[in-house]
Structure 1
């Protein structure tokens, strides 16, 4: 794999790995902190609510920054500011660790704003560091690293929390983000020059949406992902907890087992992508449509079974087509957009997914409470099947041609 010899790519994935682990510890520490300060489920729910809302706002406004500054500079500055905010949060909770304060939510909101900008920019850097023929493997590799950290990070964070406290976790998060930032600084990219006349604010904000409307392949992919995101909220803790209780009739620890199986399936799918990248590129449309059909079937079977071992197997298998689709989507996005445009497309994608996911959690929670958990999984299966039908109807868009400017700007001068 040629991309593994690229020093800048190595700095990117190592930096992302530290940042992802830091994100996990950050959530673990904050959950413990908020519960200790308030003992309230309402204030605890403010964490995901605040994070989702402010990431959504940040994703909408991200093009304003992307149009005016080089991508690497945006990423480095956002990482530094996030580290500084975490230092301030650590000082606050160490000095004033008694009673709930709106200051904690304020820090969460500011950090979420930075995350909403950093995420699309980080994803848009990959095509500048990896040759076009290696991108599928590179994306698969990045997903393996990400999912492995998720599998290991949550139990590790829980162990650390039991043996220490939330303040220690926050300070550990500061160290992880500082290391991540140092690696990010070492990335070398050939930045596009910013135009002498920046577009208007409204022009920047709507540019990503306009691009999506103009490129059929990206428009189709985001439409499919919108539908599947509505369905994927079935895997949140609130639904799986009830599934374990009603279907499997087992203890709450089985939520953790199912969650781990799901992520293990995603890891295997990343390894599959690395091994069979050429095959995936040759039959992109088939793998997207067949993967949707398989996901619909697997989630239906998962929702109806009451056999624990089978539930673990189905959760693992569901992770395979789910992650393969995500890697393929990323590859197609990278092939159809230049550096700045790609970052703005990712920002739009993030905004759509954040808002959709927030709404779908409420919708599926309502269905689960009003009917039962089996109905929730049947509903999710139906949504994914509709996405399969839509993808089949739009299969020509899934074989779209690459635009000239993306190739010319990304196939040469790759930093080593």
Structure 2
């Protein structure tokens, strides 16, 4: 893994951290100004809808403008919007309509950038190093999430949202500068611009449908996204207070334990990269199965210390599954089409997570948080079993 990989990983990590700061700062400001949880919840909802729309139209823009040009100019456009937004922060803070209008535009540009950034990894490292590269990048991303979600609340109170927004802008500038060495890799031959925009719109979905391996991976990803909704903050807090009989501080302990396990999982995946690379499907299936079993045990448990242990163990299982799945997707999809496939994945993830959060909340209200975790674990177990059978059938047909 060369300098370009480290530049890309550092750039993406800074971009993720700036996004966390931005989201948490704006949520805090909206709640502080309105004293309404409903208003504060509108921003994440708007952001999700904007990312969904951006994911739908990203393939068309990629074909028309090329990925390299989009990655060069869209971040600068987003940075310009953020600078104007921050410079006029007090105005937007006093006018909610203008505030949400600005947030829509900023969220749309962020939605275009994400699938393009994800598709770059196969350009940076050889195919036989993808597992190590994905797991190493995952370690950095998990550490960024821990730092971002742990300290942003304190930073907002200490230095204020206005100055924190300027720090966000500085982080985006640094992220862009770190990404500059990667630009030469994106200077590929100009492809023919498609006159039929509907074909560009359908490309990612067509690849997912026609490629059996990618289709099965997408099925697993959607299923795990649906099950992943059981880990939203409200459900975890309800489980801690009603089932583990602990105070709110254990809510933080549970989250910290999971992220600690995720970092350990990233290190483990990097260490085992040569073995995982040779048996990607096996490790993906094993990680999914172990994660499902641990979730089921977690749902049946009432001991706080055991809950922490289980959350730590879930991290490596999920990370090995995720790294294996990312690597298979990257090797099975042509590099030129990868951003389109990620865009389609992005849309499916947004829809599945949004819907599942709604239904998970209803189930938790009626049957309790414990039943939600149990159903989530069983759902992943069944889906991983179906996927394993599909892969076995596909392997048998190919042989």
TM-score under structure 1 normalisation?
A: 0.91
**Whole-angstrom distance in 1 between the partners of 2:339 and 2:305:** 41
Are the equivalent residues in 2 in contact too, given 1:289–1:388 (CA < 8 A)? yes
Q: Which residue of 2 aligns with 1:409?
A: none
Residue 400 of structure 1 deviates from its aligned partner by: 11
Q: Which residue of 2 aligns with 1:259?
A: 255
Aligned residues: 397
2:7 corresponds, among 8, 11, 17, to 11
**RMSD of aligned C-alpha atoms?**
1.9
Pair 183,376 (structure 1): closer, same or farther in 2 beyond 3 Å:
same
Unaligned runs of 5+ in 1: 402-416
Q: Which residue of 1 aligns with 2:154?
A: 159
Q: Which residue of 1 aligns with 2:347?
A: 351
Are the equivalent residues in 1 in contact too, given 2:93–2:99 (CA < 8 A)? no
Q: Which residue of 1 aligns with 2:237?
A: 241
1:124 corresponds, among 119, 125, 144, to 119
Q: Which residue of 2 aligns with 1:410?
A: none
**Whole-angstrom distance in 2 between the partners of 1:62 and 1:216:** 23
Are the equivalent residues in 1 in contact too, given 2:85–2:92 (CA < 8 A)? no
Q: For residues 92-120 of structure 1, give each alpha carbon's deviation from its aligned partner in whole angstroms, at most 9, with x where no partner exists.
A: 3234543x512222222222212222111
Q: RCO (CA 8 Å, sep 6+): is it higher in 1 or 2?
A: 1
* Residue 281, structure 1, aligned to residue 277, structure 2: yes
Which deviates further from its counterpart, 83-92 or 38-47? Answer: 83-92
1:141 corresponds, among 136, 141, 145, to 136
**Whole-angstrom distance in 2 between the partners of 1:235 and 1:291:** 18
TM-score under structure 2 normalisation?
A: 0.95
Are the equivalent residues in 1 in contact too, given 2:204–2:344 (CA < 8 A)? yes
Are the equivalent residues in 2 in contact too, given 1:56–1:354 (CA < 8 A)? yes
Runs of 4+ in 1 over 6 A off after TM superposition: 397-401
Residue 70 of structure 1 deviates from its aligned partner by: 3.0
Unaligned runs of 5+ in 2: none
**SS at structure 2 position matched to 1:222:** helix
Are the equivalent residues in 1 in contact too, given 2:54–2:111 (CA < 8 A)? yes
Q: For residues 241-284 of structure 1, give each alpha carbon's deviation from its aligned partner in whole angstroms, at most 9, with x where no partner exists.
A: 11111111222122121111111111111111111111112222
Q: Name the structure where helix makes up a greater proportion of residues.
A: 2
1:388 corresponds, among 379, 384, 388, to 384
Residue 304 of structure 1 deviates from its aligned partner by: 2.0
Are the equivalent residues in 2 in contact too, given 1:120–1:343 (CA < 8 A)? yes
